[in-house]
Structure 1
Amino acid sequence: MPTRSSADGILVLTGSYTPDSGGEGAGLAAVRLDPENGSLTPDSSLPPVPVSGASFLAAHPSLDVVYSTNENESGAVSAVARQSDGVLVPLGDPVGSGGANPCHLSVHPGGQWLLTANYGSDTTPGSVAVHRLDADGRVSGLTDVAIHEGSGPVVGRQEGTHAHQVLVDPAGRFVLATDLGADAVFTYRLDTRTGTLEQTAVSRFRAGSGPRHLAFSPGGELVFSADELSSTVTCHRYDADTGTLTEISSVPATEAKDITNQPGGIVASPCGRFVWVTNRGAETVAAFRVTGTSLQPIGEAPSGGAWPRGLNLAAGHLLVANQHSGTLAALRILDTGALEQPGPAAALPSVVCALVL
């Protein structure tokens, strides 16, 4: 989906937890980003779309279609289409995700398959699901579910598996799924004829680290992980022939002391020089400089609210979704990789993610 901008600014679609998923949000809502001053304004011309538990959004690579998780125990995924007048409308009914509490999804580069990470629950293991996408982008049949196995040492968080992200590597060869409960990344090959997954490898992380999200360097040689349970950011070497990760170095996600901190979103700059991570607890976005295969802290900026979760690049800014304060903020990226403190944020109850349209 190509980025749309106008005199009114850049269109951003946000996702939030709704009352039926433990939040207070509307589901999907549109705002406008002014790239000159970083201000964010709700777009009243585009009414909200009531998607249950819209905790992560992904755009189709060639169609005006956006996909959303429905993060709840029953688990589903939804598609919305952008009409010629810009209004977003549901594209078919929600489709079961093949597991509980889907929290991340991505579209395979070919545009024919939707990949979903199901976090799972106390009774349901984490898993990765595949759905076929029709020619108009509609979600059709569930073609496969790969169930994860494993656990970790952190009581209350790692008794079982919890898939937290699923993405395709830059070469399009492997599907990678992080698992917070198993301290691992599971590697698959996707059969693009049948929509089935074949597990080919498992990359083991430090015990108790709880990998949440990954970000690739522009060339794909390095992978950076936001480790939720150990509050670290780790640099890994990526083997494009096997789809495996090997840890090289690791640094604390925040300089704040004597607090419980959980890294959330992670983004690498297109130039490959910087990495940014949200810190839930410290309530900051931390900036790091990539020096060879190590990360050097640059500094931290306030996130513009409380419990910063989703993080995304937009026109020289970082969009930060602050779940507990219900605010979406834009932090300007300086040439050094450091971040300017955000200006006034947009009020969006229970917002957790943002996607540039």
Structure 2
Amino acid sequence: MAELSRRTFLGAAGAAGAATVLGAQFASAAAQVCTAGATVYVGSYTTGADGHGLDVTSRSGAALTQVRTVPGISDTSWFGRSADGKTLYVTNEGDPNGFVSALNITDVTNPKLLNKVSTKGSAPTHLSVHSSGKYVLAANYGTGSVVVLPILTGGKLGAATDLAQHQGSDRAPNAHQVVNDPSGRWVLSVDLGADSVYVYSLDVATGKLSQHQQLKLPTGAGPRHLAFDPTGKFAYIVQELRPEITVASWDAAAGTLKALSVVPAVPAGSTGDLYPGEIVVSRDGKFVHATVRGPNTLATFAVSGGGATLKLVSTVSSGGNWPRHVSLDPAEAWFYVANQRSGTVTWLPRDPATGLPGAVAGSLAVGSVNSTYFV
């Protein structure tokens, strides 16, 4: 089975494309609901790249301004926060040896490294703090596994208590995400190489995972990330190797996913490189948003049928090259897109009534950027 390289398998990016662009008529109104002085962390690649690792930025209106680079934090590609809010956890996406770092953020503007521990695999691309507050879970993309790391007193991490190894059939496994379900009872991991979503239970006393279900998607789908709707009854699985989103029902009592439908993430007739990246769901559950690399767009989907149905309603330019990640600010008035290959974080206003983005309103230069995180 051929292994998919984490950063290079996708090939060259296509030229930036744009479909429906609304303009910035509501940008000024959206700026008024931003919290001035908010802190935003920005992750970027450092190995063989021009990123800083972990940057602290401040936000005034919608604009981000760099404050400082946290020293000694390499290849930061995902963020999580402890239940008490005092500790930040970040993936250090090393290959062949990956780590997760724990940082004290009592002062959110000046994170201090506590320790870092091995993920027992390569290229950890995603993490989450388990709902019990006792563990950090991380997905090793390079080796296709999920690791359980105990949270110690004071927020430091201990050595792994378990490692769940995925198995691919047509390709090597590439675990891309690991999250709790909304009920807190189950752990789900999305694996791009295995074309699967795994469902686990976690024994909180021992830190051991037990596989409960493996939802197999069509060969070559390349599922990357999933996001739940606010009811907890549906999960939207963005696929990287096909520009699509799979809508699945979620039964929290049984701990089972069921694929229902597949929705294109690009307009009909789109050609060239088409690689979706991140997916987010609005708090009200009315809209889903996803980045698509290649055409370099931010797609918006309208949700209907109580969460069971998605419809692509808009695609706009991300304002940069290779939009890897998108996040919404706490007020959901702005999108922040990490454009990896152009080395820019762009921000676009969001109409809360329609869910639609307007034109890019500004940008911050960050080399090899991959993600943003609001604190």
Q: TM-score, normalised by structure 1?
A: 0.90
Q: Does 1:48 align with 2:70?
A: yes
Which of 303, 326, 333 is residue 311 of structure 1 equivalent to? 326
Deviation at 1:87, TM superposition (A): 1.1
Distance 2:52 2:224 in 1: 25
Distance 2:276 2:83 in 1: 28
Structure 2: gaps spanning 5 or more residues: 1-32
Structure 1: gaps spanning 5 or more residues: 153-158
From the superposition, tell whether residues 298 and 91 of structure 1 become closer, same or farther in structure 2 (CA, over 3 Å). Answer: same
Distance 1:176 1:7 in 2: 33
Q: Which residue is 1:160 aligned to? A: 172
Which of 17, 35, 39 is residue 63 of structure 2 equivalent to? 39
Q: Which residue is 1:324 aligned to? A: 341
Q: Does 1:194 align with 2:206?
A: yes
Contact 1:32–1:40 at 8 Å: present in 2 too?
yes
SS at match of 1:136: helix
SS at match of 1:218: coil
Contact 2:146–2:178 at 8 Å: present in 1 too?
yes
Distance 2:365 2:242 in 1: 31
Contact 1:29–1:49 at 8 Å: present in 2 too?
no
Distance 1:288 1:136 in 2: 41
Contact 1:40–1:329 at 8 Å: present in 2 too?
no
Q: Does 1:262 align with 2:263?
A: no
Distance 1:339 1:6 in 2: 16
Aligned length: 336
* Structure with the larger RCO, 1 or 2 (CA within 8 Å, 6+ apart): 2
SS at match of 2:336: strand
Q: Which residue is 1:90 aligned to? A: 113
Distance 1:310 1:326 in 2: 12
SS at match of 2:211: strand
Q: RMSD of the TM alignment (CA)?
A: 1.6
Q: Tell me the amino acid that sits aligned with residue 65 of structure 2.
A: T
Q: Tell me the amino acid that sits aligned with residue 296 of structure 1.
A: K
User: Could you give the per-residue CA deviations for residues 88-116 of structure 1, whole angstroms, max 9, x where no partner exists?
Assistant: 11112x21101111100000122210000
Q: Tell me the amino acid that sits aligned with residue 45 of structure 2.
A: Y
Distance 2:356 2:286 in 1: 11
Q: Does 1:271 align with 2:291?
A: no
User: Could you give the per-residue CA deviations for residues 294-341 of structure 1, whole angstroms, max 9, x where no partner exists?
Assistant: 211121121121111112120321211111111111222112011111
Deviation at 1:40, TM superposition (A): 1.9
Q: Tell me the amino acid that sits aligned with residue 32 of structure 1.
A: S
Q: Which residue is 1:337 aligned to? A: 355
Contact 2:34–2:60 at 8 Å: present in 1 too?
no
Q: TM-score, normalised by structure 2?
A: 0.86
Q: Does 1:29 align with 2:55?
A: yes
